[in-house]
Amino acid sequence: MSRIETLAVHAGGEPDETTGAVVPPIHLATTFRHGPAGERVAGYEYQRESNPTQDRLETALAALENGAGALCFGSGMAAMAGLLESLPAGSHVLIPTDCYTGLRALSAEFLPERGIHASAVDMADLDAVQAALRPETKLVWAETPSNPQLRVSDIAALAALAHGHGALLACDNTFATPVLQRPLELGADVVMHSTTKYLGGHSDVMGGALVFARRDDLYGRVFHRRHVTGGILAPFSAWLILRGCRSLPARMAWHCANARALAEMLVAHPAVEAVHYPGLASHPGHAVAARQMRDAGGMLSFRLRGGREAALAVAGALELAINATSLGGPETLVEHRASIEGANAVSPANLLRVSVGLEHREDLLADFSQALARLG
């Protein structure tokens, strides 16, 4: 059973041995009985190290990404920090110019305190990536498609570049999910997820995960770091995310179909200057996306000809789509990223990001049409 629809339903989901319950139990125990000299009874000792509910999710995520092991964290940022802060002092990290804002903040504010330095490069430009590698570059961080401009970078080519340099490739696969793209199969060493998004899938649980190509020294260091620093996932959260995995392939198919329909409607609208969606043939990363992704995903962004004012007017006029941050839930969410990023905003002022939800396509198109029509 290696097809992802089947894996998603069953991985990490063996019926409970003692009761036969088809749905896994949630183990809330913080501590597990051991022998007088600390001998483990069933492999567990203390929840901060590992616990049975989180183990099930880690088994599922490793299967979905075709990795050798996964580690879950209390949020996507905790997962990201758990990996990057495990690099040796003196390391340099290459990050994408268009990326999740938390990565930018972590790189600017916290990694330098640990002697780790990051610089940004356009990951879609392989010559620029090659030129930006330094002797001390230990890791290249890709995010594809990226937030919020949906830039696409070539995972296999980046893996070859990084490995040729003795560096690792990590890939934030939050937007694509393993249903649409499996970076480890393309050569990446580590995949990161904000499981808060599509994996959880219902806008009601926070979590993060790393999936490793190998259970090597790096995996061991990150595991140990999580145990000591405590950024573990709560059992109930692990259980909700595991439940989300079950329907992930079905939800992604619907998200993709809705996003494609919305992208096609927007690109033909006179008030729209540009649509960033890798499923459109006009997208500069379309060919690479078609090669490495099964479908183009549920995220898109678009720019208004009328600038910041028009973007805010459209966001304000939507009746079905909700103005909110985050993504990957059943409800369509819209966000003016520049406003959310504040004083140091890097996103274009006329850009709106859309997490295209699971509503009926015609209702969604009608909502965006009426909001755009009000621009006059």
Give the one residue of 24, 51, 58, 100 binding ligand PLP; rule: CB under 6 A: 100
151 near ligand PLP, judged by CB under 6 A:
no
144 near ligand PLP, judged by CB under 6 A:
no
What span, in angstroms and rounded, lies between the C-alpha atoms of 188 and 191? 7
Query: Would you please indicate which residues are annotated as catalytic (active-site) residues?
Result: 48, 100, 172, 197
- The CB-of-214 to ligand PLP minimum distance in angstroms stands at 23
Give the one residue of 53, 177, 181, 196 binding ligand PLP; rule: CB under 6 A: 196
206 near ligand PLP, judged by CB under 6 A:
yes
Contact 45, 54 (CB under 8 A): no
3-state secondary structure of 371: helix
What span, in angstroms and rounded, lies between the C-alpha atoms of 352 and 303? 6
Residue number of the CB atom closest to ligand PLP:
76
Cα Rg of the chain (Å, integer): 21
What span, in angstroms and rounded, lies between the C-alpha atoms of 44 and 51? 7
- The CB-of-362 to ligand PLP minimum distance in angstroms stands at 28
Give the one residue of 50, 107, 144, 147 binding ligand PLP; rule: CB under 6 A: 147
Give the one residue of 54, 91, 107, 174 binding ligand PLP; rule: CB under 6 A: 174
What span, in angstroms and rounded, lies between the C-alpha atoms of 170 and 213? 10
- The beta-carbon contacts of 3-9 under 8 Å, at least 24 apart in sequence, are 4/64, 4/178, 4/179, 4/249, 5/249, 5/250, 7/60, 7/63, 7/64, 8/60, 8/64, 8/179, 8/245, 8/246, 8/247, 8/248, 8/249, 9/246
237 near ligand PLP, judged by CB under 6 A:
no
- The CB-of-11 to ligand PLP minimum distance in angstroms stands at 21
Q: Which tokens is 243 given?
A: 């439940």
Find the part of the chain contacting ligand PLP (CB under 6 A) among 131-139, 171-179, 273-281, 334-342.
171-179
- Cβ proximity to ligand PLP, 211 vs 372, nearer residue: 211
75 near ligand PLP, judged by CB under 6 A:
yes
Find the part of the chain contacting ligand PLP (CB under 6 A) among 48-56, 69-77, 274-282, 367-375.
69-77
- Cβ proximity to ligand PLP, 53 vs 196, nearer residue: 196
- The CB-of-239 to ligand PLP minimum distance in angstroms stands at 17
Q: Is the dihedral of CA 98, 301, 260, 65 positive or negative?
A: positive
- The CB-of-172 to ligand PLP minimum distance in angstroms stands at 5
Contact 273, 305 (CB under 8 A): yes
Chain positions 272 to 311 lying near ligand PLP, rule: CB under 6 A, are none
Contact 14, 1 (CB under 8 A): no
Contact 209, 71 (CB under 8 A): yes
User: Residue type at 235?
Assistant: P
Residues in contact with ligand PLP, shown as a per-residue x/- string from 327 to 356 under the rule CB under 6 A: ------------------------------
- The CB-of-245 to ligand PLP minimum distance in angstroms stands at 16
Q: Which tokens is 8 given?
A: 């998603």
Give the one residue of 145, 208, 244, 298 binding ligand PLP; rule: CB under 6 A: 208
- The CB-of-146 to ligand PLP minimum distance in angstroms stands at 8
77 near ligand PLP, judged by CB under 6 A:
yes
- The beta-carbon contacts of 364-370 under 8 Å, at least 24 apart in sequence, are 364/258, 364/261, 364/262, 364/320, 364/321, 364/332, 365/261, 365/262, 365/265, 367/318, 367/319, 367/320, 367/321, 367/332, 368/262, 368/265, 368/266, 368/314, 368/318, 368/321, 369/265, 370/317, 370/319
Give the one residue of 9, 48, 85, 102 binding ligand PLP; rule: CB under 6 A: 102
Give the one residue of 76, 145, 244, 285 binding ligand PLP; rule: CB under 6 A: 76
Contact 191, 71 (CB under 8 A): no
197 near ligand PLP, judged by CB under 6 A:
yes
Find the part of the chain contacting ligand PLP (CB under 6 A) among 47-55, 59-67, 125-133, 190-198.
190-198
3-state secondary structure of 174: coil
3-state secondary structure of 189: coil
Contact residues for ligand PLP (CB under 6 A)?
75-77, 100, 102, 143, 147, 172, 174-175, 194, 196-197, 206, 208
